[in-house]
Amino acid sequence: MNRKISIILTIAMLLTGCCGCAKAAVSGQSSAGASAQEDSNAGYITVGFCQVGSESDWRIACSNSYKEEFTEVNGYRLLFADGEGKQENQIKSMREFILQDVDYILLDPIVETGWDAVLKEAKSAGIPVIICDREVKTEEDGLYECWIGSDFEKEGRNAGKWLADYLQSKGRDQEKINIVTIQGTMGSSAQLGRTKGFGDVLKEHANWTMLGQESGDFTQAKGQEVMEDFLRKYHDIDVVISENDNMTFGAVNAIQAAGKTCGRNGDIVIISFDAVKTALQSMIDGNINADFECNPLLAPLVEKDIEKLQAGESLEKVQYIDETYFDDTMDLKSLITERKY
Ligand code: GYE
């Protein structure tokens, strides 16, 4: 909202004794409420963050990272909108942030497509948008400032390469290997990239067969259901690729409930993504063989980008965060204590 209109509305509200409106929550806020809020935000940079939801440990660590970084002590007012796993909720909160005339919008898009209209609205309102974690595919260029997150395809490829080396080390590189994949939320960058990256390595191994691929939507409960389904359908699974740790926890439960074993010395090799603390503990316990890290601590990097924009500097359009992997040959006990997520 134009600053002059905002001041006029604020004065009008003071005259009519309507200051209570300033406490309006993010959702369902009137434009008069928005202007009062803007006034109370004076001196702070207001940041509206459209988060995916709270489906996984990774996501919780990601949300905490924003809440710890964008504090009043650091000069920010963070408006946090939980999309509860639905794109329409995320679009709605973006529109509310536009109405509130926040200084920046941060979008972690649940899926890659369907953002053009709302990104254009933000652009017309003069509000810079930073895309974090998952990516967007737009028809037009220039609808956002930059994207910052993980190289999901590389994570998937690294998982495939790790499996090839592992099988070779066990003398199983010529054996017929049956694989199933528990995929993340379909159409999300994390799912698309990990599926593609692993799929590329699969094509190089004629003795590897993908028996089935199904989405567990990145949650433990659905991951468990999908694994139960796989175990009913296929009786000779050698490897499970699980596109996040929470689905892996569900898969391990399903495997053990079916009387099978997995991980170190088990019947089924388990490869996971994220490498959150609980998963590393599960690897120490022998249930997971390898875990490809995805770093959820994006907020400090996003904050640096905002500082640059504030200083009128330009940004790298694509920014990858550093990542590694872990397997059960490593000394994870000492590592786990230092780990933030
Ligand atoms: O792997 C998963 C989460 O987008 C990278 O989303 C993120 C993924 C992460 O739910 O645990």
Q: 157: Cβ below 6 Å to ligand 1? A: no
Centre of ligand 1 to C-alpha 189, Å, is 9
Q: Which CATH superfamily is domain 45-150+296-310 in?
A: Response regulator (3.40.50.2300)
Q: 59: Cβ below 6 Å to ligand 1? A: yes
pLDDT tens per residue, range 148-197: 999 999 999 999 999 999 999 999 999 999 999 999 999 999 999 999 99
DSSP per residue, 15-82: HTT-GGGGG--STT--HHHHHHHHHHTTTSEEEEEEE--S-SHHHHHHHHHHHHHS-TTTTEEEEEEE
Atom 8, ligand 1: residue with shortest CA distance:
190
Q: Structure tokens of 257?
A: 């409930």
Measured between alpha carbons, how far is 2 from 262 in angstroms, rounded to an integer?
A: 60
Give the pTM. 0.89
Q: 133: Cβ below 6 Å to ligand 1? A: yes
Q: Structure tokens of 157?
A: 């490829």
Task: Give one word for 31, left, alpha or beta, with left for phi > 0 and alpha for psi -120 to 50.
Answer: alpha
Centre of ligand 1 to C-alpha 248, Å, is 13
User: CB under 8 Å, gap of 24 or more: what pairs does 140-147 form?
Assistant: 140/116, 143/115, 143/116, 143/119, 144/107, 144/119, 145/305, 145/309, 145/315, 146/305, 146/315, 146/316, 146/317, 146/318, 146/319, 147/317, 147/318, 147/319
Centre of ligand 1 to C-alpha 165, Å, is 26
Please state which CATH class domain 152-294+326-336 belongs to: alpha beta
DSSP per residue, 180-225: EEEE-STTSHHHHHHHHHHHHHHHT-TTEEEEEEEE-TT-HHHHHH
Under 8 Å CB-to-CB from 2, ≥6 apart: which residues?
A: none
Centre of ligand 1 to C-alpha 218, Å, is 7
DSSP per residue, 218-261: T-HHHHHHHHHHHHHH-S---EEEESSHHHHHHHHHHHHHTT--
Report pLDDT for 36. 53
Domains 45-150+296-310 and 152-294+326-336 share a fold: yes
Q: 305: Cβ below 6 Å to ligand 1? A: no
Give burial (CB, 10 Å; 0-12/13-18/19+) of 187: middle
Report pLDDT for 39. 61
pLDDT tens per residue, range 300-332: 999 999 999 999 999 999 999 999 999 999 999
Q: Give the percent of the chain with pLDDT over 70.
A: 89
Domain boundaries of the chain, sorted by first residue: 45-150+296-310, 152-294+326-336
> Which ligand 1 atom minimizes the distance to the CA of 150?
5
pLDDT (tens place) for every residue of the chain, 341 residues total: 344 334 333 333 333 333 333 223 333 344 444 555 556 788 999 999 999 999 999 999 999 999 999 999 999 999 999 999 999 999 999 999 999 999 999 999 999 999 999 999 999 999 999 999 999 999 999 999 999 999 999 999 999 999 999 999 999 999 999 999 999 999 999 999 999 999 999 999 999 999 999 999 999 999 999 999 999 999 999 999 999 999 999 999 999 999 999 999 999 999 999 999 999 999 999 999 999 999 999 999 999 999 999 999 999 999 999 999 999 999 999 889 889 99
> Which ligand 1 atom minimizes the distance to the CA of 276?
11
